[in-house]
Structure 1
Amino acid sequence: MSQGCALVLLLAMTLAMAAGLGAWGPILLTPADHVFADQRSWVGIPSTLNTLSCLPLLIVGLWGIASAWRSSWQETVRQPWIGFFIMCVLMSLSALLHHLELSDGAFALAHAFAAASFIMLGLAFMAERIDELFGSRPAIAAGLSVAACCAAWWFLGQWNSGRGDLRPMLFFEALPLLLIPAGALSLRGEHTTGIDWLASLSLYIAARVLGMADGIVFGWTGGLSGHTLMHLLLAGSAACLAYRASVAPASVPAAPALLEPTHRRASLNTSS
């Protein structure tokens, strides 16, 4: 698939998802969002497994920051990767805080950092495979500003009427998943392969599915809830990319077939 075709499909699917969320109406927090299947508490730690399972993402995020910082990648590629892993660390800490003391604010904060992490991830993808401008400091500042606006939308709505709307944050959390059906993983890249992204996004999808099936999974396993496994798979998703940053040279060797990375396009105006 050509770069132009992939970008048009990605834009169309993004607009369709935005329209769908707009038609859906506000997505509000409910008391059920703070109820988890595994309520077991050990050594004074509430919901112990759910709480402690936040830590792997923290460790992976620190690993990713160090790996991206030491990499030989050019600055415009390295910067959004560092931003992504920083947001992973903050997301892990806010999720940990939420499990230690359940509150709407901590829940929304975790989603705000998740949205910011995926905005950074999208910029990292586009900086490598489309145009280096996506990894520039103004682009990163704009991305973080968008994430801040999403968080402010929820907090202002919650403060004003008790009806904070999660839709903007959920939109950006779901946005990277469109890379797969849009065929964007076949775009040429120098530092990562399509397989890296496919593995990471597949683990992310599995994490969200298990999170929604929290009680069902807990009933099946009798020991691990879907929410706990969601935390672990989110760490695994980020670990796929942290590993690539830790071992990749300036460019990856040729990969087979459709997912083969070569040189990046120099401009958004270039298409094949």
Structure 2
Amino acid sequence: MVWMVNQQVTRGRRCRIWGVALLCWLFFMLFTPKIPVSYRHHLFADMRNFLGVPNTLNVITNFPFLIVGVLGFVLSLGGGSFFNISLRGEVWGWSLFYGGIASVAFGSAYYHLKPDDNRVMWDTLPMMIAYSSLFSSFILERLGERIGLSCLFSLLVLAVLSTSYARTFNDLRLCMTFQLIPCLAIPIMTFLFPPKYTHSRYWLWTSGVCILAKMEALADMKIYRANNYIISGHSLEHLCSAIAPVLVTVMLMQRSNRFQRLGEIKECP
């Protein structure tokens, strides 16, 4: 009951936030220059080959995504048996998230074996699907199942359209903002909307890890030089990004319900 009262109080604030977000996105797309894909995007600091595997460390550092993704996907399908998941919409959201994480392992490894414009979408799309599902699961938890599922399907379509737009028009702006917005929106919304579950601090830690990973990617060569050419910033980005699904997995296993919703939908089997 408390949870439902809080939702009614914050409904107007929620509409204002979505309106501001839409205006910011329109401003960004209308008044900022295109960010084209150039050959420099495919030149990484560490391009060493070991045992005949091109760009070895950038390839093998994707392996943690496979482990965490497969494990989380299996546990998500179990519903409330392993994770504290009380709605079917949450099962869909988290299953897609872990499925996207597992797909990152294959897509990113495939791209880094031979980085070029033809393969980059296989690196980008799985990660964007994972971001979509993670953000939608957060919205579902904070704002309700209906809006969460609407965001899930809408963001998945937008992820595909953004990737297609980047490929067709040689413009990375949509893909870049698509990956950045959840990292910024989740911390802000954490303080604006009441959580249904405990252990909500894990959302902040996850956002922090994602932002740190992006910074490591930007400092690819600087990090590589700083540690005497042992591991590059891009490889560290892979390892750091893999910590994010680990954090949410721990959250899902430890959290418990804070409030009981009015007319709660029956628990998943």
What TM-score does the superposition give when structure 2 sets the normalisation length? 0.83
Aligned to 1:160: none
For residue 119 of structure 2, give the secondary structure of its aligned residue in structure 1. helix
Aligned to 2:16: 8
Q: CA deviation at 1:240?
A: 0.7
Aligned to 1:161: none
Residues 200, 139 of structure 1: alpha-carbon distance in 2 compared, 3 angstrom cutoff: closer
Aligned with 2:247 (options 232, 237, 240) = 240
Deviates more, 1:14-23 or 1:34-43: 14-23
Q: CA deviation at 1:7?
A: 5.9
Are 1:103 and 2:116 counterparts? yes
Q: Which amino acid aligns with 2:42?
A: H
8 Å Cα contact 2:138-2:186 kept in structure 1: no
Q: Which amino acid aligns with 2:20?
A: A
Aligned to 1:257: none
Measured against aligned partners, the alpha-carbon deviations of 1:42-72 in whole angstroms (never above 9, x if no partner) come to: 1111111111001111211112212222231
Residues 265, 227 of structure 1: alpha-carbon distance in 2 compared, 3 angstrom cutoff: farther
For residue 230 of structure 1, give the secondary structure of its aligned residue in structure 2. helix
Aligned to 2:155: 143
Are 1:33 and 2:41 counterparts? yes
Alpha-carbon distance between aligned partners in 1 of 2:262 and 2:211, rounded to the nearest angstrom: 29
Alignment RMSD: 2.5
Aligned to 1:189: 195
Alpha-carbon distance between aligned partners in 2 of 1:180 and 1:49, rounded to the nearest angstrom: 31
Alpha-carbon distance between aligned partners in 2 of 1:21 and 1:75, rounded to the nearest angstrom: 35
Aligned with 1:80 (options 74, 80, 93) = 93
Q: CA deviation at 1:173?
A: 0.6
8 Å Cα contact 1:14-1:178 kept in structure 2: no
Q: After TM superposition, where is structure 1 displaced by more than 6 Å over at least 4 residues in a row? A: none
Q: Which amino acid aligns with 2:77?
A: W
Alpha-carbon distance between aligned partners in 1 of 2:18 and 2:191, rounded to the nearest angstrom: 11
Aligned to 2:266: none
Unaligned 5+ segments in structure 2 are 1-5, 264-269
Q: CA deviation at 1:190?
A: 2.9
Residues 39, 184 of structure 1: alpha-carbon distance in 2 compared, 3 angstrom cutoff: same
Alpha-carbon distance between aligned partners in 1 of 2:187 and 2:156, rounded to the nearest angstrom: 26
Are 1:120 and 2:133 counterparts? yes
Alpha-carbon distance between aligned partners in 2 of 1:220 and 1:209, rounded to the nearest angstrom: 15
8 Å Cα contact 1:124-1:134 kept in structure 2: no
What is the percent sequence identity of the aligned residues? 22
Q: CA deviation at 1:18?
A: 4.5
8 Å Cα contact 1:200-1:237 kept in structure 2: yes
Residues 61, 210 of structure 1: alpha-carbon distance in 2 compared, 3 angstrom cutoff: same
Residues 52, 70 of structure 1: alpha-carbon distance in 2 compared, 3 angstrom cutoff: same
Q: CA deviation at 1:100?
A: 0.7
What TM-score does the superposition give when structure 1 sets the normalisation length? 0.82
8 Å Cα contact 2:97-2:130 kept in structure 1: yes
For residue 188 of structure 2, give the secondary structure of its aligned residue in structure 1. coil
For residue 105 of structure 1, give the secondary structure of its aligned residue in structure 2. coil
Alpha-carbon distance between aligned partners in 2 of 1:264 and 1:33, rounded to the nearest angstrom: 47
Equivalences, count: 249
